[in-house]
Chain A
C-alpha cells in the first residue's frame, strides 16, 4: 500500500463521485423532457376541447358553422377505412410472414425480400401517397373513395405487420412443430393447427398496433386529394370519405380564418386519441391475456 497516496485517492474520488451524481441527475432530467411534453400536450388539447365535445359533436354532420359542426362523417370514414385495411393487411402481412418463416429457404432471394421489407418500412408515408395516387387513383381510376385510401394505407402498414407477425411466428417453439410432424401432420396442417393458433395473440397485437398507426396517418390521404369539409357520410367502401386526422388538418389550417376551428380541431384530436388509446389497450389485453410463454 505504500505506493498509493491515499489522500490523493480520496481527493480524486470525491470529484468522480460528484461527477457521477451530476450526470445521473442530468440523465434523469432529460428522461423527464419527453414525459413533460406529453403532459403539456395532453393538457393543452384537453383544456382547449372542453365544452366542445358532446353528443352532438359526435353525431352531427360537418358544418361551416362551428357550433353545429360534428365529426360523424370523419368517424365513419375512419371506420370504413379500417374495414378495408384490417382484412387486407391481415391476409397480406400474415401470409408474407408465414412464407418467410416457414417455407422460404435461406438464401439470396429470401434475404432480398427481407431487406426489401425493412427498407419499405422506412419509406416516407407521403411517397406511399404518391404511389396510391398514381396506381389506384389515376391508374385504375378508382376515384378518391374509401377503397383507394384503404389500399394505399394497407401497403403503408404492410411492412410493420409482416415484421411483427414474423416475430410472433418465430416465438412458437420448435417442439410444438416437431410434435405435430411426429403425429403425421403435413406442413400446412402444422401451420394451420399449431403455428397459427399459438402465434395468433402476437399477430393480432401487431396488427392492431399497425391499424392504430393507419388510423392516425394523414399524409398519404392528403396526396389522394380527399376533399375538405361538407362531405356526405360514407356508407360503404365505394363512397367518398374523410377521416379524423384529415378533419384535424383542415380545421387546424382554417383556424386562421375561423378561430373556433382550433377548438374543433382539439376536440377531434381528443376523440382520435381516445380511439387510439382504446385500440392500444385492446392490443395490450390480448398480449397479456392470451399469449402463452414457453
Chain B
C-alpha cells in the first residue's frame, strides 16, 4: 500500500482518488480477512476428521466382528487360527507377543536411555553433548525397516551363538533392536526433563558437599521424575505400535507362549500379514483386522494419555 501512495503522489492524482482507491482495496482486504480464518479453520479440522475417521472405521468394523465372535472369546482365547475351517480368533497370542517384545525393548531402552540422559545432562561437557546428540538423532531417524533387516540378519545370528536353541525368527532379537531404536527417544525426553531442573538446586547440593552422583540421584532425578516417567511411558507406546521390526524378525507363528526364543506374532505384525494376504472384504478374517487394530489403538491411546497425565499431574514447578 505504501507503494501506491508514493506513485500517486508523484503523478499528482488528487486526494479523492486516493481515498477511493484505498476504500476499494480495503473492502477487498476485509473479504480476505473474513475468509482466511474460516479457510484455516477448515484446514485445522482435517486433523480432527482424521481422528474421527480412525475411530469410526475401527469401531464400525470391530462391532461387526463382535457380532460374529463373542467379545469374551476374543479377549480370553489363547488360540489364533484365522484360516481354515475351524477358524478361531483369540487375541491372547498377539497380546503376549506384543507385551513380551515391548518388555524386552524397555529392559534395553529404559536403563540405557536414562543413563545416556544422565551422562549428557549432568556429566558431559558442552562439546561432547554437541557431538553425541546429533548422532543419537541419527539413530532415531533410521527407518524401522532398516532395523528389521538388522535384527534378522545380524542380531539373531549373534544371539544364536549365545543361545543355541534360538529360533531363526524369535521375539528376543526384534525386542532388543526395538529397545535400541527407542533409546534416543527416552534419552532426549529424559534429558529435557533433567535440563529443566534449575541449576540453583544442583549448586545447593554441591555446596553441601555432595558428589555429582549424589546430586543426580537425590536432587535432579527426583525433581525431573515426572518427565522421566512420561518418557518411559511414551517409549512403551512406541514399542507397542512398532511394526516392521517385529514383522520381519519375529515371524508369523501365532504361538501362545512366554518363551522369548520362540517365534511369536504381535498385533501389528498380524495386521501386516492379514492385509498382505488380501483378506476378502466381509470375511471374519477381514473384520478381525479391525478388532486387533482397535485393541492396539486403545493400548497406545491409554499409554499416551497416561504420559500426559503423569507429566501434567506430577510436574514440579520451579
Q: Is B196 an interface residue (CB 8 A)?
A: no
The 8 Å CB contact of A28, one of B32, B46, B123, is B123
Is B211 in contact with A17, judged by CB distance below 8 angstroms? yes
Complex Cα distance, B296 from A189, in Å, reads 45
- The chain A residue with its CB closest to the CB of B140 is A34
B37, B39, B132, B184 — most chain A CB neighbours (10 Å): B37
The distance in angstroms between the C-alpha atoms of A30 and B290, with both chains bound, is 40
Cα of A280 to Cα of B138 in the assembled complex, Å = 9
B296 proximity list for chain A (CB < 8 A) = 124, 126-127
Q: B66: CB under 8 A from chain A?
A: no
* Minimum CB–CB distance for A143 against chain B, Å: 13
Q: Would you call A68 an interface residue if the criterion is a C-beta within 8 Å of the partner chain's C-beta atoms?
A: no
CB within 8 Å for A30 and B271 given contacts A38-B139, A96-B44, A184-B1: no
12 pairs, CB–CB < 8 Å, chain A vs chain B: A19-B211, A44-B153, A116-B48, A122-B238, A122-B303, A126-B293, A130-B290, A155-B46, A158-B46, A158-B47, A189-B29, A216-B145
A138, A158, A184: which contacts B50 (Cβ < 8 A)? A158
- Are B112 and A30 closer than 8 Å at their CB atoms? yes
CB of B163 within 8 Å of the partner chain: no
A217 within 8 A of B: yes
**A203-B240 Cα distance, complex, nearest whole Å:** 30
Q: Which of B135, B145, B290 contacts A35 (CB 8 A)?
A: B135
Which B residues are CB-close (under 8 A) to A293? Answer: none
Q: Is the CB of A225 within 8 A of B278?
A: yes
Nearest A residue to B183 by beta-carbon distance? A34
Interface string of B165-189 (1 = CB under 8 A from A): 0000000000000001001100100
Verify A122–B115 contact, CB threshold 8 A: no
Chain A residues with CB below 8 A from B118, complex form: 27
CA distance A276 to B137 in the complex (A): 13
A272 CA / B43 CA spacing, docked (Å): 32
Query: How far, in angstroms, from A219 to B247 measured CA to CA in the complex?
Result: 9
Judge if B41 is at the interface, Cβ distance under 8 Å. yes
If A95-B43, A99-B44, A122-B304 touch, whether A245 touches B145 (CB-CB below 8 Å) is yes
Stretch at the interface among B6-14, B53-61, B67-75, B77-85: B53-61
A265 within 8 A of B: yes
Q: Given the known A-B contacts A37-B180, A272-B146, are A123 and B300 also in contact in the complex, defined by CB atoms under 8 Å?
A: yes
Are B145 and A96 closer than 8 Å at their CB atoms? Answer: no
Q: When chains A and B are docked, how far (Å) is the Cα of A96 from the Cα of B289?
A: 32
- Please give, as numbers and ranges, the residues of chain B lying within 8 Å of A28 by CB-CB distance: 119, 123
A134 within 8 A of B: yes
- A189 to B211 CA separation, bound complex (whole angstroms): 56
Determine if B281 is an interface residue (Cβ-Cβ < 8 Å): yes
Nearest-CB distance from B149 to chain A (Å)?
Answer: 5
Tell whether, in the assembled complex, residue A34 and residue B57 are in contact, meaning their CB atoms are under 8 Å apart: no
Q: Does B213 contact A (CB under 8 A)?
A: yes
Taking the closest CB of chain A, its distance from the CB of B10, in whole angstroms, is 20
Select one of B41, B141, B243 contacting A125, CB under 8 A: B243
Q: Mark B113-140, 1 if CB is under 8 A from A, else 0.
A: 0011011101110000000100110110
Instruction: Kindly state the separation between the CA atoms of A153 and B136 in the bound complex, as whole angstroms.
Output: 25
Check B148 for interface membership: any CB of A closer than 8 A. Answer: yes
Which residue in chain B gives the minimum CB-CB distance to A35?
A: B135
Nearest CB in chain B to that of A117: its residue: B47
User: A127 contacts which chain B residues (CB < 8 A)?
Assistant: 54, 58, 241, 293, 296-297
Please give, as numbers and ranges, the residues of chain B lying within 8 Å of A142 by CB-CB distance. none
Which of A20, A138, A219 sits near B272, CB closer than 8 Å? Answer: A219
CB neighbours of A131 from chain B (8 A): 50, 53-54, 57
Q: Is the CB of A103 within 8 A of B40?
A: yes
Interface-centre pick from A115, A217, A223 (highest chain B CB count, 10 A)? A223
Q: Are A124 and B241 in contact (CB under 8 A)?
A: yes
Is B143 at the interface (CB under 8 A from chain A)? yes
B195 within 8 A of partner (CB): no
Do B244 and A116 touch (CB < 8 A)? no
Instruction: Give, as a whole number of angstroms, the nearest-CB distance from B177 to chain A.
Output: 9
Interface check B275, CB cutoff 8 A? yes
Let me know if B218 is at the binding interface, CB within 8 A: no
Listed from nearest, the 6 A-B pairs whose CB atoms lie closest are A124-B241, A216-B143, A95-B43, A27-B119, A99-B40, A30-B115
Give a binary string over B1-38; 1 marks a CB under 8 Å from any A CB, 0 the rest: 11000000000000000000000000001101100110
- In the assembled complex, the Cα of A214 lies from the Cα of B242 at a distance in Å of 15
Q: Which residue of B lies closest to A223 (CB)?
A: B275
On whether the beta carbons of B138 and A38 are closer than 8 Å, the reply is yes
Q: For residue A124, which residues in chain B have a CB less than 8 angstroms away from its CB?
A: 240-243, 268, 296-297, 300
**Do B43 and A120 have beta carbons less than 8 Å apart?**
no
User: Which A residue's beta carbon lies closest to that of B180?
Assistant: A37
Residue of A nearest to B242 (CB): A124
CB distance from B235 to the nearest CB of A (A): 11
Q: Which residues of A contact B184 (CB under 8 A)?
A: 34
Judge whether A95 and B244 touch: CB under 8 Å. no
Known: A92-B46, A116-B47. A187 touches B211 (CB 8 A): no
A45 CB within 8 Å of chain B? yes
CB-CB under 8 A from B57, the residues of chain A are: 130-131, 134-135
Q: Is the CB of B141 within 8 A of A276?
A: yes
